[in-house]
Amino acid sequence: MIDFKALAKEYKTPLYVYDFDYMTQQFEELKEAFRGRKSIIAYAVKANSNLSVVQHFAKMGSGADCVSIGEVRRALLAGVPKYKIIFSGVGKTDDEIKEAIEKDILYVNVESEAELGRVELMAKELGKVSRISIRVNPNIDPKTHPYIATGLHDNKFGVAIDTAKRMYIMAKNSAHLDPVGIHFHIGSQLTELEPIREAAEIVADLVRSLNVLDIELKFFDIGGGLGIKYKDEQAIKPYDYAQAILGTLTALDMTIICEPGRFLTANAGYFLTKVLYEKQNGAKKFVVVDGAMNDLLRPSLYNAYHKVEAITENDGECREVDIVGPVCESGDFFAKNYKLPPLEHNDLLVIKSAGAYGFGMGSNYNTRGRSAEVAVQNGEARVIRKRESFEGLIALEQEFLEK
C-alpha cells in the first residue's frame, strides 16, 4: 500500500504519484499475451511522457509510439532503441520528417497522400530511403467517447482502404520510400472487443491484397486504445485482445506492434490534492482544493470520471459535493455531485486513475506551476520531476521586459 499521507507531507501538493510496480505488471501481462508471435510492445509516449516512465518501459524491452519529434527525442534519451521507435501523427513538419529519417527510426507512420509526398521529398533531399507505414482508417465505430474515436471517416486520422492501396503502390515504385508496415488505431479507452477484431480483419485483408501486388509488409501495427476500469467498465483481458487480433492474421507472417499507453500507466497514477475549505452556495456544496484543471484536465475536457478517496479523520455522513480548484474558470472541477464525508482544511484527496493523460495535458494557466512527479517502486519513493517554480515559469519571458 502506498502511504499517500506521508508522500503529501514530504513532497507537498498538488502531486502526481506513480506506482512503477503496477506499470511493470501491466507491461508483462500484455507482452505475455502476444508471446506466441513476433511482437513489439511500443509504449505510447503521449500517455505519460516523463523520461523516467519511458525509461522504465525501455528497460523491459519496450519500443515507443511517438506523435511529435519531441517524443522521438524523449524516447531516444530514455534508452529506447531507434529500431523500436515509430513516428506517427497527422501534422508532421518537413523538419520533423527530416529529423526522423536522419535518426533512422523504425518507420514514419503516414496519415495522408500529401504527407507521403512530403516524406518522399524529404528523403530525396537527404539522399536516403525512408521506411514508412500507412495508417489505414477501417471506418469502424469504436464505441468510445467521440473525442477519442479515431477510426471513422469523419475523424482526421488515417486514409480509406482504396487510398491506402494507391499509396502503397506509389511507395513501392519510389526510389526513396520503403513500405514496411501497416497501421490502424480506431480509438482510445476501448472496452468492446468486436470493433477491434473487425478493424483487424479489414486491415489484414488489405495486407493480403497487397501481397498479390508483390508488396510484402513486415509490421502489422494494431495501435493502442485498450481500455481500463475508471468506474464500472468491463476492461478487455489482454489474452482475449491478442487472440482476437491473431485470429485475423491467418497465413500472414508479420511482426505485431501494439501501442498501449493508458493500459500501462492510467491506474498506476494518483493525483494528490489538499482540501483548502468547504463552501456553500445556496443548496450547492463545494470542496475547494489546491489542485486545479491545469494539473488534471480530463474531467473538464471530457467530463471524465475519476474515483476520489478522502483521507480524513472525519467519519461523518457522506453528502454530494463538487470538487473544484482555484483556477478562474467554471470548468475547473475534478468531480460533480460526488459523495464525500465532511472535510477539514488540509485533509487529503486521492484522485485515482491519473497516470495517463494527466500531467502531460497540464498547463501553466493562471501562472500556476505544474506539480512534482514521484515514482514509487519496491516500497521506495523518488522524485522524477521537480515542482515548477515561478522563476522557471518566467525564464523565457523575463529578458524581454523593457528596461
Residues carrying an active site annotation: 328
Cell of 370: 505544474
Distance CA 79, CA 73 (A): 10
User: Quick count: other Cβ atoms within 10 Å of Cβ 138?
Assistant: 23
All residues at 6 or more sequence positions from 301 whose CB lies less than 8 Å from its CB, including other chains: 147, 361
Task: Determine the distance from the C-alpha atom of residue 295 to the mean position of all C-alpha atoms in its chain, rounded to a whole number.
Answer: 16
Q: Which of 333, 264, 244 is nearest to 295 (CA)?
A: 333
Task: Determine the distance from the C-alpha atom of residue 238 to the mean position of all C-alpha atoms in its chain, rounded to a whole number.
Answer: 17
Helix intervals (H) in 272-353? 298-302
Distance CA 100, CA 19 (A): 32
Assess contact for 359 and 373: CB atoms under 8 A.
yes
Can you tell me whether residue 349 is helix, strand or coil? Answer: strand
Assess contact for 60 and 24: CB atoms under 8 A.
yes
Instruction: Give the CA count within 13 Å in the CB-facing half-sphere of 246.
Output: 13
Rounded to 10 degrees, the C-alpha dihedral 88/60/47/32 comes to 90
Distance CA 242, CA 65 (A): 19
Distance CA 170, CA 152 (A): 24
Distance CA 198, CA 68 (A): 29
Distance CA 293, CA 287 (A): 14
Find the farthest-apart pair of alpha carbons in the chain and give their distance in angstroms, rounded: 72
